[in-house]
Amino acid sequence: MSITVNLDVAPAASRIPPLSIDSLLIGRDDEIALLTSCVREVAAGQGRAVLIEGEPGIGKTVLVRTACAEAARHGCHVFWGAGDELGQTLPLSPFLDGLRTREPIPSPRRKTIVALLRGELPSGRGEDVTAALAEQLLALVDDLCAAQPTVLVIDDLQWADQASVGLWERLARSARHRPLLLIGMMRPVPQREDLLALRHTSELAARLQLEGLTGPAVTDLVTALAGGKPAGELLQLADGAGGNPLYVTELLDALSRGAGLTITDAGVAELTSDSAPDSLSEAIADRLRFVEPHLESDEIFLANYSDGLTNFYLPQMIEEFSQRDSYASFLSVQPRSSSLDTVVTDEQGCVRAIKNMTDANIWVNGGYFVLRRDVFRYINPGEELIYEPFRRLMNEGKVWSPRYSGFWQCMDTFRDKQILDELDAAGAAPWRLWKNGLAAPGIVA
């Protein structure tokens, strides 16, 4: 028998209710009211631009997703793009990906953009492809807004390239002239000059600086997560999260997994363990260490991220792993869709072509870990599996990763979810092996 543990969302104990968006939005009444007002205004034809700042885990994404759901109910078309830490030198990727420019949608504008990306059209302006793409993207936004009110979200602006930041600012300055709700989100660091300039864009309808939750809001959040009013010791532990909703959630989740929380007959949530994690990274890493006592006599167990689907035949990988002396393995895959692009430039740095990374021979970690219990000897408190522990294992030649070229799709972004929803709606969901009965291709290398 193999035991499976999810590296993203571990099952919560019955005493902890499932986490909901409403719980995460505790203490954000003013912010959601402002965004809801903006949604209603754009649905009525009045454009707005909003910039939201805050540290990781503070609730930016959940806040905006809630607003986007409201926008969809008001008949708005929603688009979502994001900067990428590794893609800052790739011009306009957040917009190209967020506006779905590579999709086979009947649109002359999109065809022009794709042709520019492929180097099939002269761009003008001294062959400056980036400038030509920016103008076409502006025109595409105009086309979309002419068809129906539109919400365009660009997440992680702190990782966007300068051309994308400049394009966001141009759209912000003109948003009021079209039915467009433009939302940008960014972290306080890095403090680049172009990002700092966004804060002073005069046409912003609002600039929201999300701070940590207040003491009463933290108490309400812990109450919602724990299912009871927190006792003083639990509340003191939660206060150490600095008001960060994600940190509070991870702490409560870790306590739940370790049976470190109980609800008294009076409805009070109390700590039953003094082994609470000291940091967010330790709380996340704790998810894998939590499974060790449940392995019993099993030598091999499975772990996975919760954000990926594939039609890979996992028993083949398990069988081959069992015959090796490796302690850890994961599936190497080639991404089907990506917001990252490769760039072709000349010696002067002028961009000649931009190609999506899916066309490159690049392999990434696709999850689907098969592990031996020996792996726990390499994991220290607070460490994430694929970094320090894997580094130690790789030094001993104990990590194996087969390559798979079949279907694999992650769901890291809003757009990724849309891709999977569209495949499912079209009846073309390759991961439904239990339904179509087809055996997936095997390991290719």
pLDDT digits (tens, 9 = 90+) for 403-437: 998 889 887 776 777 788 888 878 888 888 777 66
CATH code linked to domain 298-428? 3.90.550.10
Provide the pLDDT confidence category of residue 444 given band limits of 50, 70 and 90: low
Task: Give the whole-angstrom CA distance, residue 139 versus residue 179.
Answer: 14
User: Is-contact 137 99, C-beta < 8 A?
Assistant: yes
142-181, pLDDT tens digit by residue? Answer: 999 999 999 999 999 999 999 999 999 999 999 999 999 9
Number of neighbouring beta carbons within 10 Å of residue 364: 14
Residue 327 CA: distances (Å) to CA of 11, 299, 318, 333, 370: 25, 10, 12, 20, 8
The mean of the pLDDT values for the chain is: 84
User: Is-contact 179 40, C-beta < 8 A?
Assistant: no
pTM: 0.66
Is residue 296 predicted with pLDDT exceeding 60? yes
Provide the pLDDT confidence category of residue 209 given band limits of 50, 70 and 90: very high
Q: For CA atoms 226, 230, 233, 237, give the dihedral sign.
A: positive
Task: Give the whole-angstrom CA distance, residue 377 versus residue 367.
Answer: 21
77-106, pLDDT tens digit by residue? Answer: 999 999 987 667 779 999 999 999 888 788
**Answer CATH for 28-209 from 3.40.50.300, 3.50.50.60, 3.30.420.10, 3.30.750.24:** 3.40.50.300
User: Is-contact 399 393, C-beta < 8 A?
Assistant: yes
